[in-house]
Amino acid sequence: MKIVVTGATKGIGRAVTEVFAKNGFDIAICARDESDLEKLEGQLKYKFSNIEVIALAADMSIKADVLRFAETIKAKWETADVLVNNAGMFLPGNVTTEPDGTLEKLIETNLYSAYYLSREILPLLQANDRGHIFNISSVAGTKAYPNGGSYSISKFAMTGLSKALREELKSQNVRVTTVIPGAVLTASWEGVDLPKERFIDVEDLAQLIYDCYKVSYRTVVEDLVVRPMLGDL
């Protein structure tokens, strides 16, 4: 069993990586920070000595890096089981006042990375006769909110990508799940003066993603919506 995870060194990506590694999956991971990636690679190999780990420093907002990551994987693996398009960033602002270039940066990071990598990794999923793509979106991709700006636009687009892939791939036994979390307790919220009870636990979200993968292939969770118990922030 093999899984590809982008943005794997922090937050949701790291938690997902660890849950699947614990369950015996070989892992292919990327992140922008090479030192963080090397540290995670070492930890995975130490804790889970029975799995293979492919790690490559890559900025997923850059198409050439996306393709280089994919080629590295395809050079070593003939099949894959799961792709988690998690790489992304949040820049606050309003559409009418945010700095010029914000939309382009967020679309490149939050959408194009998933678009290009899905196209590249799909043949590995198809070669396995079944597969599962998880696209990490956000509640901001279902309802706009103040100061969401281009981030919200990019996540609405991610949701659209998932819906298109779902229709195209269902006859090929490749499942597509849009993961739609509210506020998750990750580094993005550092410095915010709110109790942890107001956030989703990242390990809970990772386990839910694994559980979606484990259901029988007669079933697909199309949209996994997860919110803090007390509601959105």
Residue with the bigger pLDDT between 192 and 98: it is: 98
81 part of a folded domain: yes
Mean pLDDT of 190-208: 81
25 part of a folded domain: yes
Instruction: Measure the CA–CA gap between 3 and 28, rounded to whole angstroms.
Output: 6
Long-range contact pairs involving 62-69 (C-beta distance under 8 Å, separation at least 24)? 62/108, 63/112, 63/116, 66/112, 66/113, 66/116, 66/117, 66/120, 67/116, 67/120, 69/6, 69/28, 69/30, 69/117
Mean pLDDT of 23-50: 95
100 part of a folded domain: yes
pLDDT digits (tens, 9 = 90+) for 84-124: 999 999 999 999 999 999 999 999 999 999 999 999 999 99
Mean pLDDT of 4-23: 96
Token couple for 50: 């029975």
The predicted pLDDT at position 184 comes to 78
Mean pLDDT of 168-188: 88
The predicted pLDDT at position 194 comes to 74
Residue with the bigger pLDDT between 233 and 40: it is: 40
138 part of a folded domain: yes
pLDDT digits (tens, 9 = 90+) for 41-86: 999 999 998 999 999 999 999 999 999 999 999 999 999 999 999 9
Instruction: Measure the CA–CA gap between 215 and 221, rounded to whole angstroms.
Output: 9
233 part of a folded domain: no
35 part of a folded domain: yes
Given pLDDT bands bounded at 50, 70 and 90, which one contains residue 36? very high
Given pLDDT bands bounded at 50, 70 and 90, which one contains residue 132? very high
> Across all residues in the chain, what is the average pLDDT?
93
The predicted pLDDT at position 191 comes to 60
The predicted pLDDT at position 176 comes to 98
Give me the CATH number covering residue 17. 3.40.50.720
The predicted pLDDT at position 30 comes to 97
Residue-range definition of the domain harbouring residue 113:
2-226
Contacts of 10 (CB under 8 A, 6+ apart): 31, 36, 186, 187
Residue with the bigger pLDDT between 192 and 95: it is: 95
Mean pLDDT of 144-149: 90
Residue 187 has pLDDT above 70, yes or no: no
231 part of a folded domain: no
Residue 129 has pLDDT above 80, yes or no: yes
Task: Select from 164, 229, 166 the least CA-distant residue to 199.
Answer: 229
Neighbours of 164 (CB within 10 A): 12
| Catalytic residue annotation | 151
The predicted pLDDT at position 81 comes to 97
Token couple for 23: 């369950």
The predicted pLDDT at position 198 comes to 79
Total number of domains in the chain: 1
Mean pLDDT of 135-164: 94
Given pLDDT bands bounded at 50, 70 and 90, which one contains residue 145? confident
Task: Select from 184, 10, 22 the least CA-distant residue to 1.
Answer: 22
131 part of a folded domain: yes
